Amino acid sequence: MDDGKEGHVWRGRIRDRMRGRATPLFIFEYATIPAASVWTGSRLWVEHFRSAGLRAGDRVLLALDPSPAWLMIFVACLWEDLTIVPVQPSSSSITLEAMRRFDARLAIAAAEGSIPAVVSPDRHGCPTQLVAPREAVFLPSRDTRLILSTSGTCGRPTHAAISDRNLDAVLCSHIPELGLDEHDTCLSTLPWTHAFGLIIDLLTAIFAGATVVRDAANGRDVSRLPALADDWGVTRACMVPLQAAKLAESETGLRFLTSLQGGVIGGAPVDALLARILATTRLRVGYGQTEASPGIALGQPGQWSDRTIGMTIGCETSIDCHSHLLCRGDNVCDAVWSESLGVVRMPAGRWLDTGDLVSQSPDGTMAFVGRADHAFKLSNGRLVNAPELERGLAHVLGGHAVVLITTRDHRTIDITIVASDAETLRSVAARGDEGLRRVAEPILGSLMRHLGRCTVRADHDVERDVKGQFVRPQRHGYPVRDDRTGRKNPSSSFLRVG
């Protein structure tokens, strides 16, 4: 094979790190695979890709659960300079739709039956039948190694095109700082389809030669994590604030958190209560958007304060006169993926506006103040694009209703429906709990399970909590006059849902 030629960023590193090596070691619920076997499996996938006629920059959809096969394919794609599009496994029709959206030539999925351009691994993770790739519409994306969906915190949700340079920058800046090495055992719970779980968690562990223990429940049931950690001697774990907060609710969970020698909490802001708990651990805050691969800032172990995001790492940051945090450097993605245009290049050396408002202390430590827009994140990292949802809900409610979506605890969302006149107020309230739920469901989609409160009220000044997740008070300054008294701020009608 054509090994180690100049220009292939990953080949030397992969060979050095994996061929014949016992670590990194990957432990799944039903399989354990050392680097050496990931390596040999990846060679079979390399042969498969070449036999299928794939060339550098061809896009490959990786639609598998975390598994030995996933690792082999990922490594083979890096080796061949293919563009990897990791997505959640789904039905055949959704996989085919994703292939179209990302113009993928090949998909690897656990598909039932024969689907055009879709390959399924065998039970050892190795390639099976050779299939004809799909014809691509756009040119190969040679400089793009990963296409990752963003939550939209830097604007509308999009697909960041992460290059080798971007990946390299974050791995080189983060691995030494995190102090990862072959003696570490990392508990992996975050999705490998998102930047935090893939790059900050998994790839740093791989290239440090650590052992990776993958939680079969993908981190959704944190109650099982302490036992898993005990079984395998876990030393590190990355997680979102919601996971840490849930763990901290139990004695065993708290013991697990304090037992860890390291790990990164990221994906959403950490509130004061959780920060106080995390200050008793060696965990640290991590901050960055997918567009920044996603490493912008990192805290020190155990150094927590309300909404801290740590200090700049591996790039240049600036806070403009409006408190927007900007970032520039090799970690900032060079392009985005557009379904209609393919790879769209971004200006070289650009400043990335994170859309976050940040303050900075004299020692350089930054703290999240709020969002420049009205979107906010739940503590599981899920972005809630409040204005868009509010517009959608207001539209279906009709009349003169104004909708405000907020959160009190970062776990659930509250919907306040503000009526500008008594008639609309009565009309909306008459829908009842279930009626409002039915109205909200098509708009909120999967966010419905986070719906905590739905209130209907008349109010004078509706504003977001400046000290909370939200900024720009008085976006809706809708004075409401009581029809009977003529006074502003009539008493509210309150309707609780769920």
Partner 1 sequence: MTMTATTFVSSDVLSQLGRLTQAQADACDFGVVQVDNAGKIIIYNQWEANLAGITVQSAIGKSFFTQIAPCTNNGLFFGVFKKGVAAGSLDSTFAYTFTYKMKPTNVNIHLLHDSASRTNWVFVKTV
> Is residue 23 within the footprint of partner 1 (CB under 8 A)?
yes
By CB under 8 A, is residue 72 in contact with partner 1?
yes
- 262 DSSP assignment: B
Residue 50 lies near partner 1 (rule: CB under 8 A): no
Query: In angstroms, what is the minimal distance from the CB of 231 to partner 1?
Result: 5
Answer yes or no whether residue 34 interacts with partner 1 by CB under 8 A: yes
Question: Residues with Cβ < 8 Å from 140, sequence gap 6 or more?
Answer: 55, 56, 57, 58, 59, 83
38 binds partner 1 (CB under 8 A): yes
Q: Which one among 233, 302, 432, 498 touches partner 1, defined by CB under 8 A?
A: 233
Give whichever of 41 and 299 is closer to partner 1, judged by the CB atom: 41
- Which candidate, 89, 64, 62, 63, places its Cα nearest to that of 145? 62
Residue choice 49, 54, 57, 68 for contact with partner 1 (CB under 8 A): 68
Q: What distance separates the 2 farthest-apart alpha carbons in the chain?
A: 85
How many Cβ atoms from other residues are within 10 Å of residue 16's Cβ? 12
Residue 342 pairs in a beta bridge with: 338
172-201 residues in contact with partner 1 (CB under 8 A) are 185
At residue 403, φ and ψ (nearest 5 deg) are -115, 140
- Collapsed DSSP state (helix, strand, coil) of residue 224: helix
The contact pattern for partner 1, residues 200-229, with x = CB under 8 A and - = no contact, is -----------x------------------
Sites for partner 1 among residues 276-305 (CB under 8 A): none
Of 13, 15, 43, 475, which one interacts with partner 1 (CB under 8 A)? 43
Neighbours of 130 (CB within 10 A): 12
Q: Determine if 241 is a binding residue for partner 1 (CB under 8 A).
A: no
> Can you tell me the distance from the alpha carbon of 336 to that of 350, in angstroms, rounded to the nearest whole number?
13
Does 37 sit near partner 1 (CB under 8 A)?
Answer: yes
Q: Which stretch binds partner 1 (CB under 8 A): 31-39, 274-282, 342-350, 490-498?
A: 31-39
Quote the tokens at residue 118: 């879709």
Rounded CA gap, 308 and 285, in Å?
A: 7
Closer residue to partner 1 in complex, CB, 22/137: 22
Establish if 231 lies at the interface with partner 1 (CB under 8 A). yes
Rule CB under 8 A: choose which of 8, 10, 14, 33 binds partner 1.
33
Q: Which two tokens stand for residue 256?
A: 């697990």
Distance of CA 304 to the CA centre of its chain: 22
Measured CA to CA in angstroms, residue 194 lies from 241, 388, 434 at distances of 16, 23, 34
CB of 436 to partner 1, least distance (A): 50
Q: Binding of partner 1 at residue 110 (CB under 8 A)?
A: no
Q: How far is the CB of 34 from partner 1 (least distance, A)?
A: 4
381 lies in the site for partner 1, by CB under 8 A: no
In one-letter notation, the amino acid at residue 102 is F
Q: State how far the Cα of 143 lies from the Cα of 288, in Å rounded to an integer.
A: 22
Give the nearer residue to partner 1 in terms of CB position, either 45 or 470.
45
212 phi, psi to nearest 5 deg = -115, 120
Any contact of residue 126 with partner 1 (CB under 8 A)?
yes
Closest CB 43 distance from partner 1, rounded Å: 7
Q: Binder to partner 1 among 8, 11, 21, 457 (CB under 8 A)? A: 21
Among 89, 168, 232, 254, binds partner 1 (CB under 8 A): 232
* Helices then strands, each counted (H, E), the chain: 14, 26
203 CB contacts (<8 Å, ≥6 apart)? 167, 171
**77 sits near partner 1 (criterion: CB under 8 A):** no
Dig out the tokens for 302 from the structure: 């155990």
**Interface with partner 1, residue 41, by CB under 8 A:** yes
Token representation of residue 225 = 């994590």
- Is residue 20 at the binding interface for partner 1, with CB under 8 A as the rule? yes
Q: Which residues bind partner 1 (CB under 8 A)?
A: 20-23, 25, 27, 30-41, 43-44, 68, 72, 123-126, 185, 211, 231-233
